[in-house]
Amino acid sequence: MLILVIVSCKQEKKVIKDVKGVENIVSKKTYAEISIKEGGKWQGKKYIGNNVIFKNVTYLKAPDSLTDHSYYIRYEGPGWESSRVGYRLYFDWRNAIDIFGKKVDSLVLSRVGLDNYDSYHENSSWGQDILKVGNSLGIGSYGRFDGDKTVIHFKQVDSTKVQIHNTEDASGITLNYFGWNALNQKIDLNVYLSIVPESRLTSTLLTPSMEIKGLSSGIVKFKGIEPIQKKGENGWAYLATYGKQTLVPDNLGMVIFYKIDQVEKVAESEYDHLIVFKPSTTPINYHFGAAWEQEKEGIKTKKEFISYLDATLANLN
């Protein structure tokens, strides 16, 4: 289990310290982590043991045995949060991004999933996992679109590594995928995801090692929920959805803000509303975010959500 140590008020920092002495210095308003089990052993694709503990680490290479539901990583991957919202990325072949809806304006990830491996799916005082990802990208993740109906995730990759970042100004993760094989092409992909205090948005940079067609991001599709789109005069645009899109169920808004000149087209796959990027080896920049109606002092209606989208779009540069 994790021990929370509060250092002096003058420093205005928290130290997350596990029983092995690994520390993460984090700002009061953002946090990122990845937490793995220790004290057990791998049995095939599962990590088992009676006296295992969770240990926070700042770097991890995905074990060869790791797949979905291996019970090795707490909430199945790295997580990052602001005071408004939390996100997690499945650190396995699915590589989708999920949402932790928050009813509070404090940091919660350090205690999520400690009492029971998937207890975060249940309603609690802080909130819960609110998005059913299924076979989609979730929100803001990335894959390779075949131009028809299929997005290729990360079933074929030589290795995947993640690094955790926590500073006074932001928190996030760097991911490196080596030998990602999709549509008969093998590339490396560097990804940086970060969140700043008080924001709902995760800022994203994708840097492919070679120019490829079909590199995409997207938002999971729900029956009866139509996408909302708008282009700004500043070179940015958004793709968004709003409605009953949660496991509760209740209202959730999801959005991706993207640079118009980096995008080839907006498309539909079987499971996602997609933004398909132009082939490039220069960093592709976009932002994704979520607004849950149970968020403290949050966005409650579609009208409010669109007002938030338009205001944010106007301020992007």
Residue 16 lies in a domain: no
CA atoms within 13 A on the CB side of 74: 26
47-66 pLDDT per residue, tens? 999 889 999 999 999 999 99
Number of domains in the chain: 1
H or E stretch at 307: helix 302-315
CATH number at residue 304: 2.70.98
What DSSP state is assigned to residue 20?
T
Q: How far is 262 from 286, CA to CA, in rounded Å?
A: 10
Q: What is the pLDDT of residues 173-198, one digit of tens each?
A: 999 999 999 999 999 999 999 999 99
Ranges of the chain whose pLDDT falls below 50: 1-27
Quote the pLDDT of residue 114: 87
Decide if 164 contacts 59 (C-beta within 8 A).
Answer: yes
Q: Is residue 189 part of a domain?
A: yes
Domain contains 179: yes
In this predicted structure, what is the pLDDT of residue 50?
87
Q: The dihedral of CA 164, 313, 291, 108: what is its sign?
A: positive
- Does some domain include residue 2? no
Written in H, E and C, the secondary structure of 279-305 is CCCCCEEEEEEEEECCCCCCCCCHHHH
Is 86 inside any structural domain? yes
For 301, the domain range is 25-315
